[in-house]
Amino acid sequence: MSNTPANANTSSHPLPGISDRKVLRQRARRNIEDGAITESYSADRKAVIKLLNDALATEYVCVLRYYRHYFTAKGMLADAVKAEFLEHAQQEQAHAGKLAERIVQLGGEPDLNPDTLSARSHAEYKEGSDLRDMVRENLVAERIAIDSYREMIDFIGDRDTTTKRILEEILAQEEEHADEFADLLDGWIGE
């Protein structure tokens, strides 16, 4: 007696767009050294790795700026705003980790060269002259990140759904950061 249910499709004819098991197995054995990158990956891997490395540089510049602001913030509202700076620094560091991991999965190497980070970063490293200026500069940097992540997502499209999902998750958090800073500026009570 067979263990196959009576209504199971045992035909070797796959559904449109779905590869036959035998084909999947054969393709998986070719170029095995490419790890997670299989023949079905259709994005320009070199271009995606470059985009991710530029985003990685942006995240690290943001981490450094947030820590600078965290340590140097002073004034009546400093304690509350410092907490935001620290939280955002930690979240940007997590973004950098996700980007670096994806770069490696794609067969690339994360470019963490400190000599070129700021040149490759989309956002600027602005120290800010006072607490309000720090908030403003961080809002500008978040707005830059939002636009750059949207452009990367559009460029990648559905050719690399894993990278797209990672970028979408980061974008959502960058939008939250921008919203928080906009709220801080809107409610500012002093100079």
Single pTM value for the model: 0.85
Q: What are the helix (H) ranges across the chain?
A: 21-29, 45-72, 78-105, 117-120, 131-156, 161-186
Q: What are the tens digits of pLDDT across the range 53-102? A: 999 999 999 999 999 999 999 988 898 899 999 999 999 999 999 999 99
Q: How far is CA 115 from the centre of its chain?
A: 22
Q: How far is CA 167 from the centre of its chain?
A: 4
| ∠ CA 19-21-24, rounded to 5° | 65
Confidence at residue 1, expressed as pLDDT on a 0 to 100 scale: 47
Confidence at residue 81, expressed as pLDDT on a 0 to 100 scale: 92
Confidence at residue 76, expressed as pLDDT on a 0 to 100 scale: 83
Mean pLDDT of 123-143: 94
Q: What are the tens digits of pLDDT across the range 30-64? A: 887 777 787 888 899 999 999 999 999 999 999 99
- pLDDT for 146 beyond 90: yes
Confidence at residue 189, expressed as pLDDT on a 0 to 100 scale: 58
Confidence at residue 21, expressed as pLDDT on a 0 to 100 scale: 87
Question: The tokens 């002259």 sit on which residue?
Answer: 129
Straight-line distance from the first to the last Cα atom of the chain, in angstroms, rounded to the nearest whole number? 82
Please indicate whether residue 11 or residue 105 has the higher confidence score (pLDDT). 105
Q: CA-to-CA distance for 102 and 75, rounded, in angstroms?
A: 40
